[in-house]
Chains A and B, each alone.
Chain A
Amino acid sequence: MIDAFLEATIRWSTPFALAALGECVSERAGVINIGLEGSIIAGALGATVGAGVFGPTFGFVAGALSGLVIAAFFGVFAVALRSDQIITGTAITMFSLGLTGTLYRLIYGASGVSLSTPTTGVLPLPVLSAIPVIGPALFIQPPITYALYVAIACVAWWMARTQSGLALRAVGERPDAATAAGINVRRVQFGAVLFAGAMAGLAGATLVLAQAGTFVENMSAGRGFIAIAIVVLGRWRPLGVAAASLLFGAAYTLQNLFQSLGLSNVPYNLFLAVPYVLTLIVLALFRSGTSSPAALGQREIVSR
């Protein structure tokens, strides 16, 4: 029972952690990307199309690329033209939800019934999966989850220990000082935004290729916005973000558990609201305080 719960928690956490890890990098560079939701849904559709043509592995590549393209679009307005990040992000999400809905209906027909894509099964890791309790939960997962573990470790190390990681953080704290130190602020921010888009695209691909096995319009269901809350909860640190994702994975697991218990007198719609209420509670309890990047959302590179 506890094994199954932990396993499902990790499984449901994976897309959140992927998207939130990307957003974490983007926000440390001072860019809040509300268009993350748009990258996730684009990644989901891209993965569906890609996997349908060349199989699941290519599906993940196509998903990441789709998310990246949407993020590039965001970057042109928010980073290059320096439009308001939040309004741009909202528009980008609208754009992507509309575009994916349109393309989906054009490619798969108006109803899109019984569209199913090949999915990646679980890949038990030898030795590691034999560890009691946490072994099966952590190491009998689809390959994308293992890729996530590696990505978390790499990003954490890169951000804390490398010259370019320091440059990224400098841009997010004091873009004017970073400029004076010879860092190209726009280039760093654009790179961070593209990374976030690709990660969100992978998150969308995960929804399709490792979970649902199909594409549904609006299937991202606010996960991009929840990922932004996860970054706040994770205190803008990669490891913190990974831990915070688990909370939301657990919430989804419980929601599914309650639904599958088939309590017909308990309305399932109220369970569906749980992750969103949880997000509100988390945001209310964990104030952003001083740990948020100082120049987050700031439009002008030269501060006042």
Chain B
Amino acid sequence: MSRTPPVDDVIVNVDHNRGSRRQSRAWLGGLFRAVALAAVAVVLLVVLLTVTGQRTGEALIALVTGAAGTWYAITSATLVRAIPLALAGLAVSLAFRAGILNIGAEGQLLAGAAAATFATLAAPQLGVATIPLLLAAGCVAGAAWAGIAAFLRQKLGVLEVISTIMLNYVALHTVGYLVRGPLQESTHVFPQSFNIDRIAQLPIIIPRTRLHLGFVFAVVIGVALWWWLKDRAGGFRLRAVGANAHAAESAGRINVARTTTIAFLASGAIAGLAGATQLSGVTYSLYETISPGYGYTAIAVALLARLNPLGVLVAAVLFGALEAGANAMQRDAGVPEVLVSVVEALLILLVLAADRWRTRQVRMTEASI
């Protein structure tokens, strides 16, 4: 009987020592996986649309054109939505890799967006330094928000799943207060903040689209994280702790508390950055619905990518397309947009079931030997 690690296979069975020779095959496998998941998502959507009695054909056409019908749809709908999903997805996957179930990316994202809004107040004095400052503020606020849950976990043994979810609600209501109080726009009518200064807005990287610099951040952080987890000692320690904290502590002499706390804070910082880039690149103003659940969708993104940072980038584009398409479906075919979260949840469950199935096959083979 093989020893069972305390966390899920999704977290554990990820690219164990993929040698460079096997790299290309792994890439192919990943690509196959992405295509398969996209296909499954479409099948699930068709089934749900049919079962709920929608005009399936019309809805699907709206979905495809809304996500990838034109150059503008690809860059300004799909990829723009993929940015927060990728950043929050990287945040979630980093935490999950370390065995921390951070369900709080949503709250950390909101904290980041709120802090970034405060930072833009300094725009007239700071000029071009505003953007770095607001991004840093977002990271720090996200890390601090995650830090509350990290502290509660480390010092008081509070299950981070519950504490991060609670912190999501606290963040939501705090933003609700801020946009009706200290940060409200000057007419004091709408529950949203003032528009941020032009100099605080992230530059557009492709002319005549809405694709902003945040896209580059997501790709750079994704690749960096992938390399760090694969090749660096710190990355190895983090994976070891996530796979089996007890073994890492006793056999590997790894400081588990330190490793998990740092991973938790870094995860929060990346989620906070997602909020800051969303504010500075897309909405230009803070309001309660600045994130339509990106922090939750990010969990699906991370799990479907099997917590691999490069996979997260791919999955984020897939989910960005799904969300952009769903938006068009609601607009053009009257299909409730929330249907997409049903598809996302079913995808997570399918991946979980598939992983269990695979583990069971492996066990049976081991037993027969």
Interface residues of A (CB under 8 A from B): 34, 77, 81-84, 86-88, 90-92, 94-95, 97-99, 101-103, 105-106, 110, 217, 221-222, 225-226, 228-229, 267, 269-270, 272-273, 276-277, 279-280, 283-284, 287-288, 299-300, 302, 304
Stretch at the interface among B113-121, B261-269, B335-343: B335-343
A105 to B339, CA, bound (A): 10
Identify which of B170, B181, B343, B344 contacts A276 (C-beta below 8 A).
Answer: B170
* 12 A-B residue pairs with CB within 8 Å: A87-B8, A87-B10, A94-B348, A98-B341, A102-B342, A226-B166, A267-B177, A269-B174, A273-B170, A280-B170, A283-B159, A287-B157
6 extra interface residue pairs, beta carbon distance < 8 Å, beyond A95-B346, A270-B174: A77-B353, A90-B161, A94-B345, A103-B52, A279-B162, A280-B148
Q: Which residues of A contact B57 (CB under 8 A)?
A: none
Residues 272-310 of B at the A interface (beta carbon under 8 Å): 296, 299-300, 303
Residue of chain B at shortest CB distance from A221: B169
Determine if B186 is an interface residue (Cβ-Cβ < 8 Å). no
Report the interface size class on chain B.
Answer: 35 or more
The residues of B that contact A106 with a CB separation of less than 8 Å are 52-53, 336
- Whether A283 and B4, one on each chain, are in contact in the complex, defined by CB atoms closer than 8 angstroms, is no
B158: chain A residues at CB < 8 Å are: 280, 283-284
Q: Is the CB of B156 within 8 A of A284?
A: yes
Closest 6 CB pairs of A and B: A98-B341, A95-B345, A84-B8, A101-B338, A269-B177, A269-B176
CA A288 – CA B157 in complex, angstroms? Answer: 8
The residue in A103, A269, A270 that gathers the most chain B C-beta atoms within 10 A of its C-beta is: A269
Given contacts A34-B161, A102-B342, A269-B176, A91 and B349 within 8 Å (CB-CB)? yes
Q: Given contacts A277-B170, A280-B152, A280-B167, is CB(A270)–CB(B342) below 8 Å? A: no
User: Closest residue to B334 on the A side, CB-wise?
Assistant: A110
Measured in the bound complex, the distance between the Cα atoms of B10 and A106 in whole Å is: 35
Nearest Cβ on chain B to A27's Cβ, whole angstroms: 12
Is A94 a contact partner of B170 (Cβ separation < 8 A)? Answer: no
Residues in A with CB closer than 8 Å to B334 are 110
Within 8 A of A (CB), among B135-175: 148, 152, 156-159, 161-163, 165-167, 169-170, 173-174
Residues of B within 8 A of A225 (CB): 162, 165-166
In the complex, chain B residues whose CB is within 8 Å of the CB of A300: 4
B103: CB under 8 A from chain A?
yes
Shortest CB distance A47–B (Å): 20
Contacting residue for A270 out of B177, B339, B348, CB 8 A:
B177
B7 CB-CB contact with A under 8 Å? yes
Task: Tell whether, in the assembled complex, residue B156 and residue A287 are in contact, meaning their CB atoms are under 8 Å apart.
Answer: yes
CA distance A84 to B356 in the complex (A): 10
Report how far A187 CA is from B334 CA in the complex, Å: 43
Q: Does B367 contact A (CB under 8 A)?
A: no
Q: Are A84 and B7 within 8 A (Cβ)?
A: yes
